[in-house]
Amino acid sequence: MSDNHPSLNFIEQIIEEDLKNGKNNSKVHTRFPPEPNGYLHIGHAKSICLNFGLAKKYNGKCNLRFDDTNPTKEDTEYVESIKEDIQWLGFQWANIFYASDYFEQLYQWAERLIMEGLAYVDDSTQEEISKGRGVPTKPGTESPYRNRSVEENLDLFRRMRAGEFPDGSKVLRAKIDMTSPNMHMRDPIMYRILHAEHHKTGNKWCIYPMYDYAHGQSDSIEGITHSICTLEFEVHRPLYDWFCETLKIHHPQQIEFARLNLSYTIMSKRKLMQLVQEKHVMGWDDPRMPTISGLRRRGYTAASIRNFAETVGVAKRDNIIDVSLLEFCAREDLNKVARRTMAVLDPVKLVIDNYPEGQIEELDAVNNPENPDEGTRKVPFGKELWIERADFMENPPKKFFRLTVGGEVRLKYAYIIKCTHVVKDAEGNITEIHCEYYPETRSGLSESNRKVKGTIHWVSVKHAKKAEVRLFDRLFNVPDPDDCEEGQTFIDHINPNSLVVIDGFIEESLNLKNAVKHYQFERTGYFCLDKDSTEDHLVFNKTVSLKASY
Ligand code: ATP
Ligand code: MG
């Protein structure tokens, strides 16, 4: 491609060139073609943002097409989750189709190829077929069934459809070129026999088209202009083209881009399924999973995922994206939308000795400094507060701006305090931190301008509410879990400490009814309410820390 459009990615360059030349009547029609055999992951999100995004950008359309040609692995549960995930990401399909909608048309086309002497029924076993294909450097050997007559092929193929033959006993193959250096052109299989119930077509069919025979033709039927797929399909392109050309049907352009790989996770539905089935995680939507539903439950926003997909861009070579980029995108968006609240996750008691016994003040706290429209709320303040254990040190290092004996900090939205002494138990653990407050330093008062270096958050002991907080770490403890020693699998790289559950104290006013989607626990990180929450047992998931910690 020329670099006339330096700001466009290479797919946009192709599209703009086509639009300029009036190709496809200057229309753009893409599709997202998932197989409904699992939940979508962040790699699919990349493909969704690309396909739906291009349609949007060029005033075109994007179809959702379920590539449902493997009845034994597919299920309507997956169909539903895929629809939900796409809509949650903020996209809407122009049409929803299933490859199975085209089974009859595909079958008719197969008969046509047979009649033109371009397809034949092969009785060879799987093994014999792959042996016959041989290796790329040497021509393959032709099947002994390759020269069956058109009549015999047609008869056998019709009887395959009628259910006369058992699974695996015959296949239909395209008659192309057993000497091609491209193995996919060595008489690829078009149909196999599978007596299995299909989630949509039931028992209507017992022969099912292979991916290569179904995909391009489905694109063609839908009038797709640019069929975008990942790099591993580059070697399939000649076959994609061959079917469209030979059948003389609309010929979409297949364009390949590099699939998204993320560090510290895996991105294959089969392996994600294994994590679920072997119960290494709570389910497909476990917040540690790279699935869209997992990221959603973890507290990622759709905007942050779209932004991530945009930032990653479109590459022609495989690479691995650092998961910290995804986390960065989450922080960037959550900072704008998250409701601020105070929560103490590792509590120690702070007692203000000169604060009147029994007095409660309702202090104003800002809900979201990034969005004044969200207003303020009242937070109760009293003589006894919970603060984070880590916000106090007896023997602090230099530049420790939090609390220490004799030192001062501001309690967020409240007063400046000075620590006077601590109380310890028999083992020497601090059980209470004592301090005095300066009434004139209350936030918002005109005399409160006095500055101290540190500000810490707190929750009133009398008003604190307990909540379960789930802290997540990476699911795998190596950047590439698939990089295994002899005898190991990716399962051996699971991080045993990827989930830590603690009890924390949150603001009393926070409950199931008034909860919003995203919170920033001030100074701690971004959190969201988990679906396991009940009226009297709130559960929070940590989405991401406030700053990168790795
Ligand atoms: P998996 O190996 O995880 O099952 P798949 O490619 O078999 O993935 P499909 O349901 O066939 O899953 O994929 C639907 C679409 O999403 C395809 O166009 C595919 O190319 C694209 N896709 C899948 N994984 C990625 C990825 N990691 N990055 C970008 N696109 C992807
Ligand atoms: Mg696939």
**pLDDT tens readout for residues 216-267:** 999 999 999 999 999 999 999 999 999 999 999 999 999 999 999 999 999 9
Atom 26 of ligand 1: nearest residue by CA position: 43
Q: Minimal CA–CA distance to 341: which of 531, 518, 117, 81?
A: 518
The tens digit of pLDDT for each residue in 142-167 reads: 999 999 999 999 999 999 999 999 99
Q: Minimal CA–CA distance to 334: which of 283, 363, 298?
A: 298
Mean local confidence (pLDDT), 404-416: 96
Mean local confidence (pLDDT), 44-57: 98
Q: Are residues 49 and 155 in the same domain?
A: yes
Question: Which listed residue (259, 462, 465, 523) is catalytic?
Answer: 259
Phi, psi angle pair for 196, to nearest 5°: -140, 150
When pLDDT is cut at 50, 70 and 90, the band that residue 1 belongs to is very low
Give the whole-angstrom CA distance, residue 435 versus residue 410.
12
Q: Are residues 40 and 144 in the same domain?
A: yes
Count of structural domains, the chain: 2
Is 35 catalytic? The answer is yes
Q: Minimal CA–CA distance to 352: which of 403, 426, 395?
A: 403
Which of these three, 394, 425, 457, is where a domain ends? Answer: 457
Question: Which listed residue (46, 133, 161, 269) is catalytic?
Answer: 269
What average pLDDT does the chain have? Answer: 96
Cβ of 46 less than 6 Å from ligand 1: yes
Q: Minimal CA–CA distance to 83: which of 44, 141, 126, 118?
A: 44
When pLDDT is cut at 50, 70 and 90, the band that residue 2 belongs to is very low
Give the H/E segment covering residue 211: helix 211-221
Q: Minimal CA–CA distance to 208: which of 74, 30, 39, 76?
A: 74
Within a domain: 200? yes
Cβ of 43 less than 6 Å from ligand 1: yes
Which of these three, 440, 457, 474, is where a domain ends? Answer: 457
Cβ of 229 less than 6 Å from ligand 1: yes
Is 259 catalytic? The answer is yes
Give the whole-angstrom CA distance, residue 255 versus residue 233.
9
Give the whole-angstrom CA distance, residue 140 versus residue 69.
28
- To test ligand 1's pocket by mutation, which of 9, 39, 44 has the most ligand atoms within 8 angstroms of CB? 44
Task: Note the pLDDT of residue 448.
Answer: 67
Q: Are residues 249 and 350 in the same domain?
A: no
69 CA to centre of ligand 2 in angstroms: 10
What pTM, to 2 d.p., does this model score? 0.95
Within a domain: 162? yes
Task: Note the pLDDT of residue 74.
Answer: 86
When pLDDT is cut at 50, 70 and 90, the band that residue 214 belongs to is very high
Atom 18 of ligand 1: nearest residue by CA position: 229
Is 269 catalytic? The answer is yes
Within a domain: 279? no
Query: Is residue 472's pLDDT more than 70?
Result: yes
Cβ of 234 less than 6 Å from ligand 1: no
Q: Are residues 351 and 253 in the same domain?
A: no
| Residue 458 tokens, joined | 């707190």
Q: Are residues 252 and 351 in the same domain?
A: no
Which of these three, 237, 257, 277, is where a domain ends? Answer: 257
CATH number of 240's domain: 3.40.50.620
Going by C-beta distance under 8 Å and a sequence separation of 6 or more, which residues neighbour residue 181? Answer: 136
Cβ–Cβ < 8 Å for 530, 293: no
Give the whole-angstrom CA distance, residue 550 versus residue 548.
6
> Which residues on neighbouring strands pair with residue 537, listed in sequence order?
534
Phi, psi angle pair for 472, to nearest 5°: -110, 145
Q: Are residues 177 and 37 in the same domain?
A: yes
Cβ of 36 less than 6 Å from ligand 1: no
Q: Minimal CA–CA distance to 265: which of 326, 314, 328, 332?
A: 326
Query: Is residue 3's pLDDT more than 70?
Result: no
Task: Note the pLDDT of residue 526.
Answer: 98
Q: Are residues 250 and 353 in the same domain?
A: no
Question: Which listed residue (35, 142, 310, 508) is catalytic?
Answer: 35
Within a domain: 519? no
Residues in the chain, total: 550
Within a domain: 388? yes
Q: Which atom of ligand 1 is nearest to the CA of 46?
A: 29
Within a domain: 521? no
43 CA to centre of ligand 1 in angstroms: 7
Cβ of 383 less than 6 Å from ligand 1: no
Give the whole-angstrom CA distance, residue 36 versus residue 108.
25
Q: Are residues 87 and 185 in the same domain?
A: yes
Query: Is residue 550's pLDDT more than 90?
Result: no
When pLDDT is cut at 50, 70 and 90, the band that residue 53 belongs to is very high
3 CA to centre of ligand 2 in angstroms: 33
Within a domain: 289? no
Q: Are residues 200 and 67 in the same domain?
A: yes
CATH number of 417's domain: 2.40.240.10
Within a domain: 472? no
Cβ–Cβ < 8 Å for 178, 187: yes
Task: Note the pLDDT of residue 445.
Answer: 77
Mean local confidence (pLDDT), 129-136: 96
Query: Is residue 509's pLDDT more than 60?
Result: yes
When pLDDT is cut at 50, 70 and 90, the band that residue 5 belongs to is low
When pLDDT is cut at 50, 70 and 90, the band that residue 294 belongs to is very high
Q: Are residues 220 and 363 in the same domain?
A: no
What is the residue range of 27's domain? Answer: 19-257
Ion ligand 2 neighbours, Cβ < 5 Å: 35
Mean local confidence (pLDDT), 123-133: 97
420 CA to centre of ligand 1 in angstroms: 61
